Amino acid sequence: MELERLEDESIDRLFDAILLLKTREECYRFFEDICTIGEVKAMAQRLQVAEMLKKGFTYTDIAQNTGASTATISRVKRFLNYGANGYNMVLERLGKRESEKI
């Protein structure tokens, strides 16, 4: 399983630190320090691609709207379908949170 290759003490520590963030502002501050702007934008783009794939958009539409390459879109789709279910879990929670705001 992929997750087993990812797990180690330093990554556990990173995730524990992320779980301590309480606000969007805190997230901006932490991620600005720990990642390059390009890295943060790449992660945000992958999440946007996953959301659009779940909604049934075509690769062409996704590429035009996000600027993602077809290789990135394909990789995200593979993880949506065969990954650790992280995208699906987060997208479901985001959807619930957004529907509660209405």
Query: What tens digit of pLDDT does each residue of 69-89 get?
Result: 999 999 999 999 999 999 999
* pLDDT score for 5: 75
* pLDDT score for 3: 58
What's the pTM value of the predicted model, to 2 decimals? Answer: 0.89
Instruction: Identify the structural domains of the chain with CATH numbers, from first to last.
Output: 1-34 (no CATH), 38-102 (1.10.1270.10)
Euclidean distance between CA atoms 81 and 79, whole angstroms? 5
- Could you tell me the two tokens for 75? 């990789």
* Percentage of the chain modeled with pLDDT above 90: 87
Euclidean distance between CA atoms 75 and 63, whole angstroms? 13
Closest CA to 73 of 88, 92, 54, 95: 54
- Could you tell me the two tokens for 60? 């062409």
- Look at residue 22 and tell me whether its pLDDT is greater than 60: yes
Q: Is 68 left (phi over 0), alpha (psi -120 to 50) or beta?
A: beta
Residue with tokens 């797990």: 7
Return the axis-axis angle of helices 37-54 and 86-101, rounded to nearest 10°.
80
Classify the C-alpha dihedral 31-88-91-18 as positive or negative: negative
Q: Which pLDDT tens digit goes with each residue over 29-38?
A: 999 999 999 9
Range with the poorest average pLDDT among 1-10, 18-27, 63-72: 1-10
